[in-house]
């Protein structure tokens, strides 16, 4: 088994077309849940130059102006009008109200015996993962790539560096020794420029990004860049076109940066654009919740939990767990403890994590913050699946 290696993960900023499609899709989910927490809703979109296509299916009492929600999300990103004009772009909608489909019940008051009558409507296998790389128990490469992406967006908005486009990408390579992070091997930033007629001098851009982006991210990091770290900025030269004018976007195409940066397995399904009744979304949250509590309990250095669901069943048809040889007790015993203290039935996940109440609880905006800030880890959001409240029970 190879224990000395370099692993690289990548992320994107809020203006990347794929990321924007995720945000728009989740903004529509929030809009329905804001008015009617029992809504059933799925929404996905595709984005290209001057055109946004939206497909939404719902059963809800809410009245939502879907095009306006989409335009507002685009406007907040801050593209130049020539890259994408939120007010003038064409919005094509396929909107289907499923009037014969029942809305969700109020899961907060559902008794345990009723949970078995709430079955999943999609077949899926989801994964949850946690490890000791960071305080939030996430893999280090994707944690750093996501932090750099968020810092780029913050810098563009607050540091008066007006040449930065909303559409940038980040990449971080971490060197591992004996299976543990030991140094930063590489950092790559691909920066879109806002004004093709006045590109910044490369030396100035390099200085700005080191000062405002890279240094703040690594200021309190346990592992910092060293003299051998390869820092690369726009290796093919300045990007004069960015955003939807340069490349298209689609909901669900950034699942690697949504989850574990490919350091661990993840389901191929999109997380965004799905209401809390979709097991391929909420099951991934439940699996992460379980894996994180196992590691937080000190039972292993890393843990992966796999949940497989079949249509018509209330809970998973199989639960697989591995600590990849890092457990302090046998994996079979850890799995027994897991099943004793975690209920992976759909109704229980939604009820126990209060997934239908989160939008209203946080002033009408919750799910649409996840694509940019991250679905897992320490992202400044109150994510119920990031709690470690069951670690004590698992350790007993």
Partner residues linked to 232 by β-bridges: 188
Q: How far apart are CA 346 and CA 344, in angstroms?
A: 6
CB 227 within 8 A of CB 187: no
**What pLDDT sits at residue 197?**
66
Domain 109-133+263-395 has CATH 3.90.1150.10: no
Cα 197 versus chain centre, distance: 35
**What pLDDT sits at residue 306?**
98
The CATH code that applies to domain 17-105 is 3.30.300.10
Residues found in the chain: 396
Nearest alpha-carbon partner for 388 in 307, 317, 262, 303: 303
**Three-class secondary structure assignment of the chain:** CCCCEEEEEEEECCCCHHHHHHHHHHHHHHHHHHHCCCCEEEEEEEEECCEEEEEEEEECCCCCCHHHHHHHHHHHHCCCCCCCCCCCCEEEEEEEECCCCCCCCCHHHCCHHHHCCCCCCCCEEEEEEEECCCCCCCCHHHHHHHHHHHHHHHHHHHCCCCCEEEEEEEEEEEEEECCEEEEEEEEEEEEEECCCCCCCCHHHHHHHHHHHHHHHHHCCCCCCCCCCCEEEECCCCCECCCHHHCCCEECCCCHHHHCCCCCCCCCCCCCCCECCCCHHHHHHHHHHHHHHHHHHCCCCCEEEEEEEECCCCCCCCEEEEECCCCCCCCHHHHHHHHHHHCCCCHHHHHHHCCCCCHHHHCCCCCHHHHHHHCCCCCCCCCCHHHCCCCHHHHHC
> What residues does each domain of the chain span?
5-12+140-244, 17-105, 109-133+263-395
CB 168 within 8 A of CB 13: yes
Contacts of 145 (CB under 8 A, 6+ apart): 9, 10, 11, 170, 171, 172, 257, 261
**What pLDDT sits at residue 12?**
97
Q: How far apart are CA 128 and CA 316, in angstroms?
A: 14
CATH topology of domain 5-12+140-244: GMP Synthetase; Chain A, domain 3 (3.30.300)
Token pair listed for 261: 């940066």
> Each residue's pLDDT tens digit in the chain (396 positions)?
788 999 999 999 999 999 999 999 999 999 999 999 999 999 999 999 889 999 999 999 999 999 999 999 999 998 888 888 888 889 999 988 876 566 566 666 667 778 888 999 999 999 999 999 999 999 999 999 999 999 999 999 887 788 889 999 999 999 999 999 999 999 999 998 877 666 778 888 899 999 999 999 999 888 999 999 999 999 887 777 788 888 899 999 999 999 999 999 999 899 999 999 999 999 999 999 999 999 999 999 999 999 999 999 999 999 999 999 999 999 999 999 999 999 999 999 999 999 999 999 999 999 999 999 999 997 788 999 999 999 999 998
CB 66 within 8 A of CB 56: yes
**What pLDDT sits at residue 35?**
95
CB 193 within 8 A of CB 163: yes
**What pLDDT sits at residue 290?**
98
**DSSP class of 242:** -
Same fold? 5-12+140-244, 17-105: yes
CB 8 within 8 A of CB 186: yes
Q: How far apart are CA 301 and CA 236, in angstroms?
A: 39
């Amino acid at each position: 088994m190879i224990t000395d290696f370099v692993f690289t993960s990548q992320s994107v900023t809020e203006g990347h077309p794929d990321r924007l499609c995720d945000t728009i899709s989740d903004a529509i989910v929030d809009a329905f849940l804001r008015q009617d927490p029992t809504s059933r809703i799925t929404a996905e979109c595709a984005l290209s130059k001057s055109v946004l296509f939206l497909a939404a299916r719902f059963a809800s009492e809410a009245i939502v102006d879907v095009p306006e929600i989409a335009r507002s999300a685009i406007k907040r990103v801050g593209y130049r009008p020539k890259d994408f004009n939120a007010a003038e772009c064409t919005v094509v909608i396929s909107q289907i109200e499923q009037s014969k489909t029942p809305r969700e019940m109020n899961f907060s008051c559902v008794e345990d015996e009723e949970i078995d009558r709430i079955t999943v409507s999609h077949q899926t296998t989801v994964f949850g993962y946690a490890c000791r790389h960071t305080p939030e128990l996430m893999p280090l490469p994707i944690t750093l790539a996501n932090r750099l992406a968020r810092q780029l967006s913050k810098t563009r908005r607050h540091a008066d560096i007006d040449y930065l486009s909303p559409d940038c990408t980040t990449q971080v390579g971490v060197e591992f020794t004996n299976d543990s992070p030991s140094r930063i091997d590489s950092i790559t930033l691909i920066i879109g420029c806002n004004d093709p007629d006045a590109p910044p001098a490369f030396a100035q851009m390099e200085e700005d990004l080191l000062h405002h982006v890279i240094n703040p991210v690594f200021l309190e990091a346990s592992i910092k860049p060293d003299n051998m770290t390869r820092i690369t900025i726009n290796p093919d030269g300045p990007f004069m076109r960015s955003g939807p004018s340069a490349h298209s976007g689609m909901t669900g195409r950034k699942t690697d940066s949504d989850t574990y940066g490919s350091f661990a397995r993840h389901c191929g399904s999109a997380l965004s654009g799905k209401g809390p009744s979709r097991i391929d979304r909420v099951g991934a949250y439940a699996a992460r919740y379980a894996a994180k509590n196992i590691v937080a309990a000190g039972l292993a250095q890393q843990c992966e939990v796999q949940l497989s669901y079949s249509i018509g069943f209330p809970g998973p048809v199989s639960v697989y767990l591995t600590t990849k040889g890092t457990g302090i007790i046998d994996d079979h015993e850890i799995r027994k403890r897991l099943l004793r203290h975690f209920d992976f039935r759909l109704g229980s996940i939604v009820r126990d994590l209060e997934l239908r109440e989160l939008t209203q609880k946080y002033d009408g905006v919750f799910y649409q913050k996840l694509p940019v800030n991250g679905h897992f880890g320490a992202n400044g959001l109150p994510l119920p699946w990031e709690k470690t409240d069951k670690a004590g029970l698992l350790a007993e």
